[in-house]
Amino acid sequence: MKILRLALVLGAVALVSGSQLQAWSAEGHRLTTVEAVTLLSEELPGFLQENLDRLAWDSIDPDLMRNSGLPQLRDREAPNHYLNSELLEDGQLPETRSEFLRFLGSQEPSLDASQVGTLPYSVVEATQRLTLSFAQLRRQLADEHLQAKVMISAAYVAHYAADLCQPLHTTIHHNGRALQDYSSPLTGIHQQVDDLFGRLQPQNENSDESLVPRVLKPIFPAVVEELERSHAEVDKVYQLEGNLVALEAGGEPSSGLRSLTRDRYRASVLFTSSLILTAWRESADLKIPDWGLPELPPTD
């Protein structure tokens, strides 16, 4: 993997530092989470459907962790929500966060997570945490504490998965086309895209194409592929910038904007659902030491 040799060290920091940008807004995260988990209603334990509103509400927590009143947590959490893909080229991403961070630090000049982002690692790690929670739950399906752990873990998967499917979370052009020094013009387009799910309600549109979640194995390459599909939509987002401005002012959405919204909504739902399905299936074979399992009630 190579790093583009431009004036990016200060510029990349200017792009992301202090940003409170979300993906799909709180309402959008909740909408995609509800539909993603609903798609798995016949396979997952029933308590997830029974508590779907709570699970969906928890899906906004990673954005709350970027609160400026929590500076250390904000510093750690912020890079989990984006990847500035243009700063990377030629080759595959390393499969672990630590390898990626070592690689960034080895560059001249050295880079760090805040400049590039770590979104694909957030997605994979959250999915594997959910796999662990599911594996513990399988031992004692009625345990309310384990059920709560699963719901929190699934909510985090849903958040990062939806972030990855928002094209402006995959690019240095996250809030307007980046300037020559890589700083952002802060045009407001990011928020306009984030608001699309709430404004256009794509979940209410009929479609002949059903969404069929699938197991993503091996998981890391599948996440990178989804990232690349999302990043490929960046130019389309900017082609629709004028319509986004008009929509915000109360105008009608163009067919192109409706199409983009529907496509990104379906991508967010299907990707989230597939990750949760992957965690559930993989949890059946995950070996956990006895000390990591809940105590079973005594048998008569």
191 in any annotated domain: yes
Query: Looking at residues 270-283, what average pLDDT do you find?
Result: 98
CB 104 within 8 A of CB 88: no
Q: Which of 62, 31, 37 is nearest to 50 (CA)?
A: 37
Give the whole-angstrom CA distance, residue 50 versus residue 207. Answer: 26
Cβ neighbours of residue 27 under 8 Å, at least 6 residues apart?
197, 198
pLDDT over 70 (residue 12): no
| Alpha-carbon gap, residue 211 to 286, rounded angstroms | 27
Q: Let me know if residue 188 belongs to a domain.
A: yes
CATH number at residue 126: 1.10.575.10
Is 292 inside a domain boundary? no
Mean pLDDT for 152-171 is 98
Which domain, by its residues, includes 272?
2-287
Would you say residue 282 lies in a domain?
A: yes
Counting the structural domains of the chain, the total is: 1
User: What percentage of the chain exceeds 90 in pLDDT?
Assistant: 81
Please indicate, yes or no, if residue 294 is contained in any of the structural domains: no
Q: How confident is the model at residue 295 (pLDDT cuts 50, 70, 90)?
A: confident
pLDDT reading at 14 higher than 60: no
> What pLDDT is attached to residue 4?
52
The pLDDT of residue 182 is 81
